[in-house]
A and B are shown apart, each in its own frame.
Chain A
């Protein structure tokens, strides 16, 4: 999207680094929007056979936000990733 196709993600480089087994976890820090989600899912699927832990940044409510104005998706994500207080 926005002209960045799978070929422009420089994944070959990442794959090379993963292959020597010294990497334990890949953290996906993509934007929490449709484009970012799509990219994260795409990369995660690609890394699946590499036997490495793939995680992504938590999504939910930003600091300083007002609950009243949160949209459904944000609220759903915030609930999914809730934590013990």
Chain B
């Protein structure tokens, strides 16, 4: 019987890392060939570690990994892309971290999904390059992620009666995975209303390909509505909070204050 190979090599993106013991870290990778992997990077907290720079979050590289007793061990790493532009800009970085955390929380270990790997990689590249609407890019990421995970929001017809959604009065019901029309919507519960404009954007996002989403230019209040619906959908699908969403929100709140420098109102911290 042929033994399975002791080491394997795979392209991957680092989602996050956490400390282990004195000098090691556990690295969570999203790999092209094996899905999400937790692996130990030995000695990366020492200053002279050669591996440390290659296992930073949001690094895209090629990783050589050895099967370990409990956790696998990263033996070699070669960085392909560091997405430096993204690291130097807090607005881009906070969004990239949010995307990485979503993927981490939404997936189980060792369940291969190349499309998800591709989605994160392409989104990170786009986050580096785009000069446009970073938030629309995140909405596209969320919508695609939901689709690839099997939680594709039902947006074209009413989830209950199946009739095409037209006119106002529709609302989003996360439990039903889609939008309910004005006639079917239950009256007793508090619901998230979806305006006609927001529904159009949501439908377009679902059909869009990466970078197409920049052609959608929703008004700020519509964009906010779309964001709330998608966050709700993501929250329901993952059944837990996304911590970097809090960070992202506080970075966005900083924006107006930093531009109106000088008139320094005490910041809410």
Contact = CB atoms under 8 A, between A and B. Distances in A.
Interface string B184-223: 0000000000000000000000000000000000000000
A12 B269 contact: yes
Interface string B85-114: 001001001100100000000000000000
A46 B56 contact: no
A20 interface: no
B131 to A, nearest CB: 19
Interface size class of A (residues with CB under 8 A): 20 to 34
Interface in B140-184: none
Q: A-B pairs with the 6 shortest C-beta distances? A: A71-B53, A49-B264, A62-B47, A41-B90, A69-B50, A6-B250
Given A6-B250, A45-B90, A71-B54, A15 B244 contact: no
Nearest to B265: A49
Interface in A26-59: 33-35, 37-38, 41-42, 45-46, 48-51
Interface of A: 1-3, 5-7, 9, 11-12, 15, 33-35, 37-38, 41-42, 45-46, 48-51, 62, 64-65, 69-74, 76
B262 A49 contact: yes
Contact of B243 (A3, A12, A69, A72): A3
